[in-house]
Amino acid sequence: MKSVKPMKKIALEEHFITAPFEEYETNIEEGRKAAASQDINLRLPEFDQLRLEAMDKAGIEISVLSMTSPGLQAEKDAAIAGQKAVEANDFLAGVIARHPKRFAGFAHLALQEPEAAIKELKRCVKEHNFKGAMINGHTNGVYLDDECYKGFWEAVASLDVPIYLHPADAFEMPQSYHDYPMLRGAMWGWGVETATHALRLILSGLFDRLPTVKVILEHMGEALPFMLWRLDSRFQLSEPTRPLQKLPSQYLKENFIVTTSGACDNAPLQCCLTAMGEDNVLFSTDYPFESAQIAADFIDSAPLSEELRAKICYQNAERILKL
Ligand code: MN
């Protein structure tokens, strides 16, 4: 492969863990090869050497850090979840304070109690200067279009920060995944689950009520950019559950941002750029679950103009995250 000079990058799906959160990491190890697991477990709770070295090699100037999935969203006790969210966010603020030029943060929220989540998001943005929040899919089966999150989305709009909608397991495993455990998680199931969650947000009318809200999706948009025409076409033939002002594709273009995290392939990149627009595609790596180097080499050598590469690598992130 030809060697390319790495472009400056900002990455925004970069995970960590702290000891009190390891109990929530239940299924995540399943199906992962032992050697890969060892390396991930070494890197997840680490901030000072391995992580900075990987960032330097990949040309990543700033990593926006987030608690690894599912975190507190798997906690059944709402009070414990609320308390641990505060601890997790204060911990992350301490890490950022040690490396203020290299790290920024997304809040980790206990959505079991929407009022507490609102308060914590406000605290994180105003006191810790966090850039938004990462939410790991449904919380014990409740999705973000639920009526109980009306106030939460109003807070998101008034704070003017994006929500990164990160994959999670389906609440119940579909029959179609039986016999093939690899279908449940990262290879397939998470993408379907997260794309469906995004469509629920659109179909709920959230973006008619709050047109400035921005939601970030990983994996080049969980295949939704590929589906724009079909979504509109079949939506128009469906009995509406709620009146919408626009077609689904318009909300996807106006209210969603996609990252290249976990998808290092030029064909979907070109689809995203065409379908979503050049201002809505951002570089990310999913460290330490994916190689930051492979992600960086991919974007550094993708057939893009240097202007467009700069937008994807850091300029769009600077604008959206106000960095
Ligand atoms: Mn991830």
pLDDT tens track for 203-243 = 999 999 999 999 999 999 999 999 999 999 999 999 888 99
CA 220, 225, 226: angle at the middle one, nearest 5? 105
| Secondary structure letter of residue 11 according to DSSP | E
> Which amino acid is present at 31?
G
Q: How many Cβ atoms from other residues are within 10 Å of residue 121's Cβ?
A: 23
Ligand 1: distance of its center to the CA of 13 in Å? 6
Ligand 1: distance of its center to the CA of 130 in Å? 18
pLDDT at 104: 98
pLDDT at 280: 98
Q: For residues 238 and 279, give the distance between their C-alpha atoms in angstroms, rounded to a whole number.
A: 31
| CATH code of the domain made up of 9-321 | 3.20.20.140
Ligand 1: distance of its center to the CA of 166 in Å? 6
Active site residue 297: no
pLDDT at 23: 82
Q: For residues 214 and 234, give the distance between their C-alpha atoms in angstroms, rounded to a whole number.
A: 24
Q: Dump strand ranges (E) for the chain.
A: 9-16, 60-67, 103-105, 133-136, 163-166, 215-217, 256-259, 281-282
Show me where the domains of the chain are located: 9-321
Ligand 1: distance of its center to the CA of 118 in Å? 23
Ligand 1: distance of its center to the CA of 241 in Å? 32
Backbone angles phi, psi at 131, to 5 degrees: -95, 5
Q: Which of 145, 169, 286, 300 is catalytic?
A: 286
The size of the chain, in residues, is 323
Backbone angles phi, psi at 277, to 5 degrees: 95, 150
Helix ranges restricted to H, 69-213: 78-98, 114-127, 150-159, 189-203, 206-209
Please tell me the pTM assigned to this model: 0.96
Cα dihedral value 37, 38, 40, 43, nearest 10: 170
Ligand 1: distance of its center to the CA of 236 in Å? 33
Q: For residues 164 and 318, give the distance between their C-alpha atoms in angstroms, rounded to a whole number.
A: 15
Ligand 1: distance of its center to the CA of 215 in Å? 15
Question: What are 23's two structure tokens?
Answer: 């109990």
Ligand 1: distance of its center to the CA of 1 in Å? 27
Show the low-confidence residues of the chain (pLDDT under 70).
Answer: 1-4, 26-33
Question: What are 162's two structure tokens?
Answer: 């994006």
Ligand 1: distance of its center to the CA of 242 in Å? 32
pLDDT at 28: 53
Q: Does residue 260 contact residue 283 with C-beta atoms inside 8 Å? A: yes
**pLDDT tens digits, 17-33:** 998 888 887 655 555 66
Q: Which residue has the tokens 């919408």?
A: 244
pLDDT at 37: 87
Q: Does residue 130 contact residue 63 with C-beta atoms inside 8 Å? A: no
pLDDT at 33: 65
In the sheet that holds 163-166, the strands lie side by side as: 133-136, 163-166, 215-217, 256-259, 281-282
Ligand 1: distance of its center to the CA of 208 in Å? 28
Q: Which helix (H) or strand (E) holds 111?
A: none
